[in-house]
């Protein structure tokens, strides 16, 4: 059973216990439009995840606490209208509503800690069982992986062949971490009271399944606020995007907490795509290895992030090693900017934000670009100013979110938004500004905005996730320490 605080507070992604640990997306949340959790709660899960990732990216000295994240969810649950409370009845939602009332009368409550220890709830975890994976079209460009879509754009997965004989492992692609790991053949739940006796129906690796597998017996681990993975460093043969690495060094997990093992988790492990300096295994990354063997000339990773709303048969998402795919972007729009993050992630100057054709005049902002973040997160003052320039936007003070009409009224135009980077303006599809309907029974009503307020590393720092990244072709180059953006080719 999932701890309720894990299932509801941080169900969207795992996160680090402290800023010295890695933040990676690991836990799916209910898909949009489902009848499993209220939309506003799902939205807060994504926001909670983003806040944790921001803590890690910025090395925050005062990271967001579990109590704060639980309080955020409690406010959302307490504000649900009666008809939604009845439709989405879960004991955990009732708990959150009671907690909100308690917090209104008593500050500094440690309720989330007590709840995590004493209360268990499986419903929110079981609510994700209906999530599926939308496969990508087979790439035609060299050194390229297709990006399968997890649920409603909450994660991106690829097939990697490991071992002898080689088998297809489905890995979660993450630009916010730097380690490759999968489950070991003897993988066991790390929680003594876990309901499962093994690590679920995922593909595992070890000497029984691969003749080229070698365990170095060197220990490694990653701890998360909602769980942990620990194991040993191993070597084996890996084939990825048509490239082969012999005796590549990576990790297997001998112990996984119960956030990793349920059968509704659609991946067997994770491939981190950030710089080596943040690796917890302290070994060369897969990108490092591809460059050192000469399989690729330059340490480049290029992304075309797909969008489920384009249609299940139109998933052309892909990830390319060593180059940019010229078939994916308009070369006339290509710009390259310097990475200003010294911490192993990708961050650049954000020169302005344009809303409904109006330049907001923000010339001193920076943005962390992260494929593992769903929303677009900015300082509260910026987010409020941005929505103030959208006439149809409405702020909900009791729950601290903005809404936009799901359907543009007749005679009106949908809101427009764009980011100015490297001297070029990159528009965002108006569909991506809408997270999901407040009430999925009324998809033509109000939708939660895909732009939310958080407190990044400072008053001028943004976390830019897939709301924007689905609209551009992005490429990172560790050799030049540059990030490139271009419009997608029509």
Q: Which of 304, 198, 293 is nearest to 243 (CA)?
A: 293
- How many helices, marked H, and strands, marked E, lie in the chain? 10, 28
Spot the catalytic one: 55, 131, 148, 174. 174
Spatial CB neighbours of 235, under 8 Å, sequence gap ≥ 6: 213, 214, 216, 247, 248, 249, 250
Residue 47 token pair: 């926001």
Spatial CB neighbours of 138, under 8 Å, sequence gap ≥ 6: 146
Cα distance between residue 2 and residue 217, in whole Å:
30
Is 370 one of the catalytic residues? yes
Residue 408 DSSP class? P
Q: What are the C-alpha distances in Å from 225 to residues 64, 156, 180, 212?
A: 11, 22, 20, 34
Task: Classify strands 155-162 and 167-174 as parallel, antiparallel or unpaired.
Answer: antiparallel
Residue 178 token pair: 């730097």
Residue 137 DSSP class? P
φ/ψ of 259, rounded to 5, equals -75, -15
Q: What are the C-alpha distances in Å from 362 to residues 334, 365, 420, 461, 462?
A: 22, 6, 10, 11, 12
Is 174 one of the catalytic residues? yes
Cα distance between residue 272 and residue 222, in whole Å:
13
Q: Which residues pair with 176 in a beta bridge?
A: none
Q: Which residues pair with 354 in a beta bridge?
A: 359, 418
Q: Which of 230, 226, 229, 249 is nearest to 180 (CA)?
A: 249
Is the omega angle on the peptide bond into residue 334 within 30 degrees of 0, that is, cis? no
Cα angle 9, 22, 150; round to 5: 60
User: For residues 74 and 112, is the Cβ–Cβ distance under 8 A?
Assistant: no
Cα distance between residue 370 and residue 273, in whole Å:
11
Cα distance between residue 402 and residue 434, in whole Å:
10
User: For residues 52 and 379, is the Cβ–Cβ distance under 8 A?
Assistant: no
Distance of CA 280 to the CA centre of its chain: 19
Spot the catalytic one: 121, 179, 236, 370. 370
Helix (H, G, I), strand (E, B) or coil at 86: helix
Q: Active-site positions?
A: 174, 370
């Amino acid at each position: 059973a999932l701890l309720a605080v894990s299932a509801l507070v941080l169900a969207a992604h795992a996160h680090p216990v402290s800023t010295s640990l890695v933040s990676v997306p690991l836990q799916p949340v209910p898909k949009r439009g489902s009848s499993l959790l209220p939309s506003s709660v799902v939205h807060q899960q994504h926001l909670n995840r983003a806040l944790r990732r921001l803590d890690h990216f910025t090395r925050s000295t005062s990271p967001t606490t579990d109590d704060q994240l639980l309080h955020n969810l409690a406010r959302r649950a307490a504000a649900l209208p009666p008809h939604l409370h009845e439709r989405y009845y879960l004991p955990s939602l009732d708990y959150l509503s009671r907690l909100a009332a308690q917090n209104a009368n008593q500050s500094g409550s440690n309720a989330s800690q007590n709840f995590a220890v004493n209360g268990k709830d499986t419903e929110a975890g079981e609510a994700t069982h209906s999530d599926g994976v939308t496969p990508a079209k087979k790439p035609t460009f060299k050194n390229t992986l297709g990006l399968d879509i997890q649920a409603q754009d909450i994660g991106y997965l690829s097939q990697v062949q490991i071992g002898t004989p080689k088998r297809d492992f489905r890995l979660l692609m993450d630009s916010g971490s730097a380690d490759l790991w999968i489950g070991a053949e003897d993988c066991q739940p790390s929680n003594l009271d876990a309901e499962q006796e093994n690590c679920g129906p995922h593909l595992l690796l070890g000497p029984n399944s691969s003749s080229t597998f070698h365990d170095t017996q060197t220990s490694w681990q990653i701890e998360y606020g909602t769980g942990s993975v620990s194991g040993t460093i191993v070597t084996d043969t890996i084939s990825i995007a048509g490239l082969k690495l012999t005796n590549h060094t990576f990790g297997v997990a001998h112990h996984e907490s119960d956030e990793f093992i349920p059968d509704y988790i659609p991946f067997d492990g994770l491939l981190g795509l950030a710089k080596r300096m943040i690796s917890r295994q302290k070994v060369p990354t897969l990108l490092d290895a591809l460059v050192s063997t000469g399989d690729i000339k330059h340490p480049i990773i290029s992304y075309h992030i797909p969008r489920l709303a384009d249609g299940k048969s139109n998933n052309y998402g892909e990830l390319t090693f060593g180059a940019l795919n010229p078939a994916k972007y308009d070369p006339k729009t290509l710009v390259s900017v310097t990475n200003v993050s010294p911490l192993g992630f990708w961050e650049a100057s954000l020169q302005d934000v344009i809303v409904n054709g109006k330049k907001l005049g923000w010339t001193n902002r920076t943005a962390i670009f992260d494929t593992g973040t769903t929303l677009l997160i900015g300082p509260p003052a910026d987010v409020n100013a941005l929505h103030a320039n959208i006439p149809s936007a409405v702020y909900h003070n009791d729950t601290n979110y903005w809404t936009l009409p799901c359907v543009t009224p007749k005679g009106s135009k949908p809101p427009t938004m764009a980011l100015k980077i490297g001297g070029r303006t990159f528009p965002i599809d108006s569909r991506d500004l809408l997270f999901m309907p407040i009430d999925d029974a009324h998809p033509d009503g109000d939708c939660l905005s895909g732009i939310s307020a958080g407190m990044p590393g400072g008053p001028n720092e943004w976390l830019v996730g897939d709301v924007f990244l689905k609209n551009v072709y992005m490429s990172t180059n560790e050799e030049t320490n540059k990030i490139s953006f271009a419009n997608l080719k029509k």
